[in-house]
Amino acid sequence: MSGAFIGLMGFAGLFGLMAMGVPVGLALLVAGIAGTIAMTGWSAAAYTLSGQAFATASYYELSVLPLFILMGNLASASGLSRDLYEVAHRWIGHLRGGLAGATVLGCAGFAALSGSSIASAVTMGRVAYPNMRRFGYGERLSTGTIAAGGTLGILIPPSTGFVLYATLTEQSIGRLFIAGILPGLMLTGLFLVAIAVIVTLRPAEGPATPPSGWAERWRATRRAAGITTIVLLTIGGIYGGIFTPVEAAGVGAGFAFLMLVLRRRMTGAVISHVIRDTLRTTGMCFLILIGASVFAPFIALSGLPAVVAGRFDALPLGPTGTLMLIILAYAVLGMVIEGLSLMVITLPIVYPLVLGLGYDPIWFGVIMVIVLEMGLISPPVGVNCFVVSTIARDVRLETVFAGVIPFWLAMIVAVLLLIAFPQIATLLPDTMFNAAH
């Protein structure tokens, strides 16, 4: 049996286990360990198992994961998500589709405090959904906006997606975070365009609402000063060399905690809820990471990546064509496999291939994250749509999936723009961590 064949069997086993309902992290572990035994025998495989688990759990750079999750939870507990939505609502709510626009802007703002798409969708959805329905917004537009807006959580830093990518590819977390800012703003803008198109074609989806008075607008703006301060201090601290992007996670969590105290929302129950949820989400991420740390070396060991790369090289496509094929494959796989798991499973093969084509690893990280965002909202396994349908109990899942289509198209446009103008991703990291010459 050739190594590449064992590698393929490993993938087959992995997908079989996942289809049965084995949690992704444990499916990676089982397939990885079985494959490693086939490649190197039991004793080496047994060694890999505990060694990799420990190496992952004690990896300094991964300390950002629990800290960013904590920051998001604290921010949500102190009511910052509501403030964000309010300010956008007061200023643009009176426009046609304005509340949907406010939701997208709120999501973008909250994304700067939250590393997870699901958390962003839940948090903003809770605030925005009842409001949009109250003003007569259509089911499709209101749920689609939340599901799609939530995905900004992994593009605008901080982002668990970038942390995983950085860990798996040994790239700088800091550079990836900074690289996500402009594409994140661009995608926010494209979402707003999508909303404008929707309400132009179907005005009933997002009717205009009575404008807010100036006093209300400024009051909401002042209230949002808290969150703006946290974001500016965190980004400013990185830019000003006060702390590293890894440390920014802890600093952000500290600010969010301070906000909780200042707003007199700190109670035992709140703290215990925040800690409990932070631990559970951290466990979710690390289970997958540990599984990946066993599965990825097995795939490298099997030699499968080289075989696949050889096949791709043989195709008469050129770098752009190959890249398009990869993106297409992700769009399809993203339909059935949850985003972060998909990245973890495929990077051992795709990353060397993309580097071989001569693409910039930071830029590809951004592309990768947008493609994962598409997966988060595409049927049948669109995690963000599931989340939204738990908030909007009265709306059918099919309606949510129909509602995200325009936003999915906006993501395609974003990917194409990034391919045409890679500077959108590389400009900021290149100037912020500026060269001395």
Task: Rule CB under 8 A: say whether 436 interacts with another protein.
Answer: yes
Question: Considering beta carbons, is residue 111 or 308 the nearer one to Na ion?
Answer: 111
Q: Which partner from the list Na ion, another protein, none does 287 bind, CB cut-off 5 to 8 Å by kind?
A: another protein
**Residues 122 to 151 in contact with another protein, rule: CB under 8 A:** 122, 126
Question: Considering beta carbons, is residue 127 or 156 the nearer one to Na ion?
Answer: 156
Q: Which residue has the tokens 């939701």?
A: 103
Q: Which stretch binds another protein (CB under 8 A): 88-96, 232-240, 309-317, 324-332?
A: 232-240
The binder of another protein chosen from 4, 270, 413, 417 (CB under 8 A): 270
CA gap 415, 52 in Å, rounded: 34
- Residue 358's region, left for phi above 0, alpha for psi from -120 to 50, else beta, is left
**Residues 88 to 147 in contact with Na ion, rule: CB under 5 A:** 111
CA gap 101, 107 in Å, rounded: 10
Task: Rule CB under 8 A: say whether 67 interacts with another protein.
Answer: yes
Task: Rule CB under 8 A: say whether 250 interacts with another protein.
Answer: yes
**Residues 151 to 170 in contact with Na ion, rule: CB under 5 A:** 153, 156, 159
The binder of another protein chosen from 10, 14, 48, 110 (CB under 8 A): 48
**Residues 330 to 359 in contact with Na ion, rule: CB under 5 A:** 335
Distances (CA, A) of 410 to 129, 149, 337: 21, 11, 21
Q: Which residue has the tokens 């900004």?
A: 152
The binder of another protein chosen from 26, 333, 397, 402 (CB under 8 A): 26
From the CB of residue 224, how many other CB atoms can be counted at a distance below 10 Å? 21
Q: Which partner from the list Na ion, another protein, none does 404 bind, CB cut-off 5 to 8 Å by kind?
A: none
Task: Rule CB under 8 A: say whether 288 interacts with another protein.
Answer: yes
Question: Considering beta carbons, is residue 45 or 327 the nearer one to another protein?
Answer: 45
Q: Which partner from the list Na ion, another protein, none does 242 bind, CB cut-off 5 to 8 Å by kind?
A: another protein
Helix, strand, coil tally for the chain in percent (to 5):
80, 0, 20
Q: Which stretch binds another protein (CB under 8 A): 309-317, 323-331, 387-395, 419-427?
A: 387-395
Taking every pair of C-alpha atoms in the chain, what is the biggest distance, in angstroms? Answer: 74
Question: Considering beta carbons, is residue 300 or 324 the nearer one to another protein?
Answer: 300
CA gap 21, 89 in Å, rounded: 41
Question: Considering beta carbons, is residue 111 or 411 the nearer one to Na ion?
Answer: 111
Q: How far from chain centre, in Å, is Cα 166?
A: 13
Whose CA is closest to 107, among 191, 26, 15, 232? 191
Task: Rule CB under 8 A: say whether 245 interacts with another protein.
Answer: yes
Q: Which stretch binds another protein (CB under 8 A): 186-194, 204-212, 286-294, 315-323?
A: 286-294
Q: Which stretch binds Na ion (CB under 5 A): 21-29, 220-228, 253-261, 369-377?
A: 369-377
Name the token pair of 419.
């391919």
Instruction: Say how many residues touch Na ion, by CB under 5 A.
Output: 9
Distances (CA, A) of 16 to 34, 219, 337, 339: 14, 55, 12, 18
Instruction: Say how many residues touch another protein, by CB under 8 A.
Output: 101
Task: Rule CB under 5 A: say whether 150 interacts with Na ion.
Answer: no
Q: Which partner from the list another protein, Na ion, none does 1 bind, CB cut-off 5 to 8 Å by kind?
A: none
Question: Considering beta carbons, is residue 270 or 417 the nearer one to another protein?
Answer: 270
Question: Considering beta carbons, is residue 82 or 140 the nearer one to another protein?
Answer: 82
- The contacts of residue 198 (CB under 8 Å, 6+ apart) are 97, 100, 141, 205, 206, 406
Distances (CA, A) of 258 to 251, 264, 279, 385: 11, 10, 20, 33
Question: Considering beta carbons, is residue 36 or 378 the nearer one to Na ion?
Answer: 378
CA gap 150, 373 in Å, rounded: 9
Per-residue contact flags (x/-) with another protein for residues 392 to 431, judged by CB under 8 A: -x--------------------------------------
- The contacts of residue 109 (CB under 8 Å, 6+ apart) are 84, 88, 227, 231
Task: Rule CB under 8 A: say whether 275 interacts with another protein.
Answer: yes
Angle between helix 98-111 and 64-77 (nearest 10): 140
Whose CA is closest to 97, among 144, 57, 33? 144
Binding residues for Na ion (CB under 5 A): 111, 153, 156, 159, 335, 375, 378, 381-382
